[in-house]
Structure 1
Amino acid sequence: MAVQQSQTTQGLNIGTLKRVHHIALNVKNMTASRHFYGNILGLHELIGKEVPSTLKDLVAQGKVANFITPDGLILDLFSEPNLSPPNVDPKQQFTRANHLAFHIDADLFDQAVEVLKNNQVMIDHGPVSRPTGRGIYFYDPDGFMVEIRCDP
């Protein structure tokens, strides 16, 4: 259903929003997800003074973990141990989000594919080659699709 705006409503000017600050994912098993995003995908987990003051208590309780990408995007993981997807088959997508994609240098792409395989990460499909580059699609421990992609 399309939302109609009145003709007097003005949106933000293009360029007002600067970048995506963070993405938050609910995870069933915080230990498995921290291992996946930190050890397998190599994202830096915020610890100690790096943790935002508003999240320090939740991090200390093991309810939240924060990771940062080299370009500054924050990935927040929220522990929801009782939350399960409607379908245990991750190929049956259960959210409006399709996937989270990480860019990698082309000369490191094959290494990333080997890391996924060596860690028995469930691969959906790929590697695939397209005019826009190469990509591989796989699932995190909660069945959320993740992509690693590189330019051609």
Structure 2
Amino acid sequence: MTINQPIVTQGLAIGNLRQVHHIALNVKDMAISCHFYGKILGLHELTGDEVPSTLKTLVAEGKVTNFVTPDGTVLDLFWEPDLSPPNADPKQQFTRANHLAFDIAPELFEQAVEVLKNNQVIIDHGPVTRPTGRGIYFYDPDGFLLEIRCDPN
């Protein structure tokens, strides 16, 4: 299948897009996903006045939860209770996204691996060591592939 690409006469200049504003994931079980991203991965959950005004109603209704990474990227979880991937095996990719990677200091990498193992998080593969650093690949409760990686020592 080929997608027709429009003819671009002029695109945005390099640097016009400043940063990732947010990432939105659909989740089947909000409580399990909140525990995973908040308690296991240690992301800060936005509450009260921290919640973006455009999402306050959805957050109040329990349909959205927002987390923020230490670099300020917001991770929005959208509750989709009927969500199920086309294949129950999380190793079978079911989206165009491949994975989301979180960076960690090299001296904390082994601790992160132990946290994942102690919480029975499903590991896809790793830890792996590459010239670019070390990484471990694992799944969130909905089967989305995540990575924790660090620069080489």
Q: Which category describes the TM-score, using the shorter chain as reference length?
A: over 0.9
| Counterpart residue type for residue 59 of structure 2 | V
Instruction: Quote the residue 1:15 is aligned against.
Output: 15
Segments of 5+ residues of structure 1 without an aligned counterpart are none
CA distance in 2: counterparts of 1:86 and 1:136, whole angstroms: 24
Instruction: Quote the residue 2:72 is aligned against.
Output: 72
Instruction: Quote the residue 2:112 is aligned against.
Output: 112
Question: Equivalent residue of 1:39, what SS?
Answer: helix
What TM-score, normalized by structure 2, do the two folds share?
A: 0.96
Aligned-pair CA distance for 1:6: 3.1
Instruction: Quote the residue 1:147 is aligned against.
Output: 147
CA distance in 1: counterparts of 2:4 and 2:68, whole angstroms: 34
Segments of 5+ residues of structure 2 without an aligned counterpart are none
CA distance in 2: counterparts of 1:147 and 1:4, whole angstroms: 31
Question: Equivalent residue of 2:137, what SS?
Answer: strand
Aligned-pair CA distance for 1:60: 0.8
Instruction: Quote the residue 2:132 is aligned against.
Output: 132
What TM-score, normalized by structure 1, do the two folds share?
A: 0.97
CA distance in 2: counterparts of 1:134 and 1:26, whole angstroms: 28
Within 5 Å, give how 1:33-72 maps onto structure 2: 33-72=33-72
| Counterpart residue type for residue 69 of structure 1 | T
Aligned-pair CA distance for 1:76: 0.2
Count residues with an aligned counterpart.
151
Structure 1 residues 105-144: Cα deviation after superposition (integer angstroms, max 9, x where no partner):
0000000000000000000000000001000000000000
Aligned-pair CA distance for 1:83: 1.3
For the aligned residues, what is the CA RMSD?
1.0
